[in-house]
Structure 1
Amino acid sequence: MNVQSFIGGTPLVELRTFDVPAGVRIFAKAEFMNPGGSIKDRIVRHILDDAERRGLLRPGATIVENTSGNTGAAIAMLAATRGYRVVLTMPDKVSEEKRDTLRALGAEVIVCPTSAPPDSAEHYVTCARRIHAETPGSFMLNQYDNPLNAEAHFRSTGPEIWEALGRSVTAFVASGSTGGTISGTSRFLKSRNPSVTSVLLDPVGSIYHRYFHEGVVDPAQIAPYFVEGAGEDHLAKCMDFSVVDDVLQFTDADAFATCRHLAEREGLLCGGTSGANVWGAVRVARSLREPATVVTVLPDSGSKYISKVYNRDWLVRNGFAAGRDLSLETTA
């Protein structure tokens, strides 16, 4: 067996320290236990396997991709076992821990300004596409627009949740950037029980919330935020709103406060998207009556964000809670 044999099959952890109605349970799938440290291991294995079968990815080729870090780590990990060169582009808000991990795995990392607009040559997606076009024989996963992204979750994440919890699942809640997790998992769960509610979580500064509710993409609403791996400044084709029932907005403060709660009360050291997901799961759980089960995912580990989410100086410097114990903010 090699490292990819251990992708998937992650445990579901019941969260018991949040104030939700009696008889309403919250479960979180510990995706940080994948060998590459995140939920993105699932989609990268699925897409690379497909590309190799179809002859789109040949021995010794270069893989190019834009990433907020986790997809890049999965690519670098699997490329190391398959003999591919890797070039990754990412926005400069990505933590140093993530950048260093990618380099340690042998990837070339190109950092682009987070503030670059989507149509700019400096935008990390545009940069990746240019490198791909200029590199003969290269392969790009195109995770934002590739339907195999969502298919990976339809084939793995969704079935694993259903096998563990079955018809007790009331709602699935997750943030989205490419849309793969929310789209594929929700589609599978709804195929087994159409009454399952799917809730997408979107950070303030992203476009998905307004697009879902009003059908509008307003460039004026695009603004920087600190959470990595959630939200977007353009519509990803992988995002399937037909299986989404509602979209809730969260703030960086919501996500980071919940991260602290998870670490200090549940013993789970998780990244910002995990905090956002659990914040949303709690919001949904509080709207339900027993019996009900809300499921979410913990996409990656907090070890990738020690210099940010779990660094009090960084939190204070960026205006989060002015040094107060953030774990107290999560049930407000």
Structure 2
Amino acid sequence: MSLEKEITLRALGAEIIRTPTEAPSESEESNIGVAKRLQKLIPGGVILDQYNNPANPDAHEFGTGPEIIEAIENTPSTTSRLSSGKVDVLFAGAGTGGTITGISRAIKRHHPNSIVVGIDPKGSLIARPEELNKLDGESASYVVEGIGYDFIPGVLSHDQVDQWVKTDDNEAWAAARKLMRTEGLLVGGSSGSVLAGALRWLTTEEGMMSAGGVEGKNAVIILPDGIRNYMSKPWFAELARGDGQSELAKQIAELLKKP
């Protein structure tokens, strides 16, 4: 958990219990294990449990999903910007799985031929089939937060996801920086992962063929986070500093040399 997340939670009156990142989710030392122990010990203790609470995907099925559908259907097709009038492809990461499951239910009910592509970091066990994860290698790991787990959350419905794309940290950081520099969107690593996976899928023959080509298609990419929670992270500091060799940096250096 980043320092920013901890400070925000403490400001809201929460008590923070740090648990080992390497602890398996089924162990008593994990965040889930500690929460279950405390629920039994604290009178009136409640676990909202985003991993198994059906309200998680419901919020996206009846909230986020209809909002996306309305925006797409109410955006007219023009000669310069063709539109099929429906959601053709949805790209989303899978953490708890509530977002991708709920939105998928909504759009597939309105647009049955929509393709839902899940983005999962290499080293995570969420993507199916299992053979896909074997490509990661036994030592695969990831730093990106918010997506990927070592277990399958109860609210994730694999039958709502048509295809999976695996991404690594380096391409996630690169895509996040691209969004910051070209779109002015200060996003975190999980948004970078989703964009990286979407661009790869959209530019490969396999992805394009399954979508019937990309011209006039509407691809929705869910960017689930902002940079507020990650500004103290080393990867963001390195991203923000850059290498000092941008074209603008060179131009400024030359201008400053002039009398």
TM-score interval for Structure 1 and Structure 2 normalised by the shorter chain: 0.7 to 0.9
Residue of structure 2 aligned with 1:311, choices 237, 240, 245: 237
Correspondence 1:145 to 2:52: yes
Amino acid in structure 1 at the alignment position of 2:224 = P
Distance 1:137 1:223 in 2: 40
Instruction: Determine which of 218, 232, 235 is the counterpart of 1:293.
Output: 218
Q: Shift of the alpha carbon at 1:104?
A: 1.4
Residue 97, structure 1, aligned to residue 14, structure 2: no
Tell me what 1:178 maps to. Answer: 96
- The answer for the alignment partner of 2:109 in structure 1 is 191
Contact 1:115 1:224 in 2 (8 A): no
Counterpart-to-counterpart distance in 2, 1:135 and 1:176: 31
Task: Tell me the CA shift for residue 172 of structure 1.
Answer: 0.6
User: Does residue 265 of structure 1 match 2:182?
Assistant: yes
SS at match of 1:131: helix
Q: 2:69 aligns with which of 154, 162, 167?
A: 162
Equivalence for 1:109: 16
Structure 1 position 324, deviation (Å) = 5.1
Q: Hey, what's the Cα distance between the residues in 2 that align with 1:127 and 1:315?
A: 36
SS of the residue 2:214 aligns to:
coil
Q: Is the 8 A contact 2:86 2:111 kept in 1?
A: no
Tell me the distance in 1 between the aligned counterparts of 2:52 and 2:87. 28
Larger gyration radius, structure 1 or structure 2? 2
The question of whether the paired residues in 2 share the 8 Å contact of 1:114 and 1:224 is answered with no
Matched residue, 1:236: 153
2:237 maps to a residue whose letter is N
Aligned partners of 1:165 and 1:304: how far apart in 2? 30
List alignment gaps of at least 5 residues for structure 2: 74-84, 247-259
CA distance in 2, matches of 1:127, 1:221: 27
- Contact kept, 8 Å, 1:222 with 1:233, in 2: the verdict is no
Q: Which residue of 2 aligns with 1:280?
A: 197
TM-score by length of 2: 0.80
Q: How does 1:16-95 map to 2 (within 5 A)?
A: 94-95=1-2
Q: Deviations over 1:216-262 (max 9, x none)?
A: 899x8475411111001011111101111001100011111111111
SS in structure 2 at match of 1:298: coil
> Which 4+ stretches in 1 moved above 6 angstroms?
215-218
1:200 paired residue number = 118
Cα distance 1:182–1:201, how it changes in 2: closer, same or farther (>3 A)?
same
Whole-Å Cα distance in 2 between the matches of residues 148 and 191 of structure 1? Answer: 19
- RMSD (Å), alpha carbons: 2.6
Distance in 2, matches of 1:306 and 1:141, equals 27
Relative distance call for 1:248 and 1:215 in structure 2 (3 A) is closer
Identify the residue that residue 24 of structure 1 maps to in structure 2. Answer: none
Between Structure 1 and Structure 2, the one with more strand by share is 1
Question: Residue 259 of structure 1 contacts residue 270 of structure 1 at CA under 8 Å; is this kept in 2?
Answer: yes
Structure 2 counterpart of 1:311, one-letter code: A
Distance in 2 separating the partners of 1:240 and 1:198: 12
Change (3 A) 1:245 1:213: farther
SS at structure 2 position matched to 1:289:
coil
TM value normalised by structure 1: 0.63
